[in-house]
Amino acid sequence: MCHSSDFRLVSMWSRTIRHALLRPGDPPAWLNRHPPDVEEETMTVDRKRSVVFGEAVEEYEAARPGYPDRLVTEVLEYAPDGPVLEVGAGTGKATAGFAAHGVDLTCVEPDPRMAAALTRRCPQAKVEIGIFEDYVPDKAFALLYSAQAWHWVDRDRRWDLAHAALAPSGAVAVFWNLYGVTDPDLRAALAAVDRRYGVTTSSLHLDHSDRAEVVEHELADDPRFTDLDYRHYAHADRYSAGRYLDLVRSISAYRILDAESRERLLREIGALLGDEVDMTLTTDLFLGRRAD
**Site residues (vs ligand SAM, CB under 6 A):** 39, 50, 53, 64, 87-90, 93-94, 108-111, 114, 131-133, 147-149, 152-153
Q: Closest residue (Cβ) to ligand SAM?
A: 90
Q: Which is nearer to ligand SAM, 75 or 94 (CB)?
A: 94
179 dihedral zone (left: phi>0; alpha: psi -120 to 50; beta): beta
Q: How far apart (Å, rounded) are the C-alpha atoms in residues 65 and 80?
A: 27
Which positions ≥6 away from 26 have C-beta within 8 Å?
1, 3, 6, 232, 234
Q: Which is nearer to ligand SAM, 88 or 170 (CB)?
A: 88
Instruction: Find the shortest distance in angstroms from Cβ 198 to ligand SAM.
Output: 21
Instruction: Find the shortest distance in angstroms from Cβ 37 to ligand SAM.
Output: 8
Instruction: Find the shortest distance in angstroms from Cβ 292 to ligand SAM.
Output: 25
CA-closest candidate to residue 13, choices 227, 173, 283: 227
Q: Which is nearer to ligand SAM, 10 or 95 (CB)?
A: 95
**SS3 string of 14-54?**
CCCCCCCCCCCCCCCHHHHHCCCCCCCCCCCCCHHHHCCHH
Q: How far apart (Å, rounded) are the C-alpha atoms in residues 90 and 115?
A: 6
Q: Which is nearer to ligand SAM, 69 or 292 (CB)?
A: 69
Instruction: Find the shortest distance in angstroms from Cβ 79 to ligand SAM.
Output: 17
The upper half-sphere exposure of residue 287, i.e. CA atoms within 13 Å in the direction of its Cβ, equals: 25
Q: Which is nearer to ligand SAM, 218 or 268 (CB)?
A: 218
Which positions ≥6 away from 20 have C-beta within 8 Å?
2, 6, 10, 13, 230, 231, 232
Instruction: Find the shortest distance in angstroms from Cβ 285 to ligand SAM.
Output: 13
Check residue 228 and report its DSSP letter.
Answer: E
Q: Which is nearer to ligand SAM, 175 or 225 (CB)?
A: 175
Q: Which is nearer to ligand SAM, 74 or 111 (CB)?
A: 111
Instruction: Find the shortest distance in angstroms from Cβ 283 to ligand SAM.
Output: 10
For residue 167, what are the CA distances in angstroms to 31, 78, 109, 157, 290? 36, 14, 21, 18, 8
Q: How far apart (Å, rounded) are the C-alpha atoms in residues 94 and 146?
A: 9
Instruction: Find the shortest distance in angstroms from Cβ 114 to ligand SAM.
Output: 4
